[in-house]
Amino acid sequence: MFSEKDFIFNTTTFEINKGSFQWSAPSNIALVKYWGKKEHQIPANPSISFTLNQCKTITKLSFERKNTSTALSETKKNFSFDLLFEGKPKVDFKPKIQKFFERIEVYCPYLKHYHFIIDTENTFPHSSGIASSASGMAALAMNIMSLEKALNPEMTKEYFTQKASFLARLGSGSACRSIKGNVVVWGKHTGINGSSDLFGIEFAEKIHQNFKNYQDTILLVDKGEKQVSSTVGHDLMHNHPFAKQRFEQAHTNLSSIKKVLENGNIEEFIKIVESEALTLHAMMMTSMPYFILMKPNTLEIINRIWKFRAETKTPVCFTLDAGANVHVLYPENDREHILQFIKDELIGFCQNANYICDTIGNGAIQIL
């Protein structure tokens, strides 16, 4: 069983002065939602997610060792990095990276020995309303681990991915689910061997054919700034009147969906996934202060999906993140039929008729 101490870097077997790495990491969509957290980005309940494929962040990390002169002790006092987004300086992103470096410094003490240039871009529009913190922090964590691997070439592949997920979690909780695997579990759960609050793990059981290449069409209902930040939303679960019941429900639903992913029962999958999405929003509506994150068009889309499913018996369902956008989930075999339904009936409720077609992916990929 891993503890935080296992991820502290304390051996340098190789010295590297300069270089660069580049990774892409995808976003993910939770089926059983994580909502509420303890100190140090520890989840209040376990979650499980589909890793996406097309919606991803591509990050290049260039690094150069700081001056080794007598000023070295002075330069080690602060993190040194430049941040580019789509090739241009992005000053307003820097505080988040600074905070991330501060959180992981104890595990990656070599960071202060280098100056970094972080050059990042998304394959989806930044203003699309899709949270990029998960993919962004996952991509950055993979690059940092590539540097650590260069400093310690004897590192195992398993340790590499586990620590990458561990680090990504400290940047953005759900980022730990974007490192590896089609389906990822994060959070300790008695029914899932190896599950941990510290990092995400690949769903170990064989996934039924019904869920292979599952489709996710993301309907962009509202591309504006999030009404409530995820951090604020999670904090509202402290002293929430229904928090205890919600955390128990998440454990129960994770046990149920584990069986569903193995046995291929799509009807049961739909019930769990839609209930989880609505529960997440119910928690926000019953918190203090309270928020409604859905828009009228979100509800219209949900009702039309329900009507279409009832009339055609097509196994399509929705899930939501902490916002107004709708993820439409369905099997690959029904793709043409459901995409036609989306074009005919749903895109009129999207902002500027924008939507993104995605599928289940495999996690982070090294480019350079």
Q: Which long-range contacts (CB under 8 A, 24 or more apart) does 71-76 make?
A: 75/112, 76/112, 76/113
pLDDT along the chain (368 residues), means of 10: 91 86 97 96 98 97 82 66 94 94 97 97 79 92 97 95 98 97 97 97 96 97 84 95 98 98 98 98 97 97 98 98 96 98 98 96 97
The fold of 213-359 is Alpha-Beta Plaits (3.30.70)
pTM (two decimals):
0.95
The pLDDT of residue 71 is 45
Query: Contact, 203 vs 194, CB < 8 A?
Result: no
Domain boundaries, the chain: 4-206, 213-359
CB-side neighbour CA atoms (13 Å) of 178:
34
- Distance (Å, whole) CA 299 – CA 4: 42
Query: Contact, 123 vs 349, CB < 8 A?
Result: no
The pLDDT of residue 223 is 83
4-206 CATH, one of 3.30.1490.20, 3.20.20.70, 3.30.420.40, 3.30.230.10: 3.30.230.10
Pairing relationship of beta strands 215-219 and 326-330 according to DSSP bridges: antiparallel
Helices and strands (H and E) in the chain: how many: 9, 12
The pLDDT of residue 213 is 96
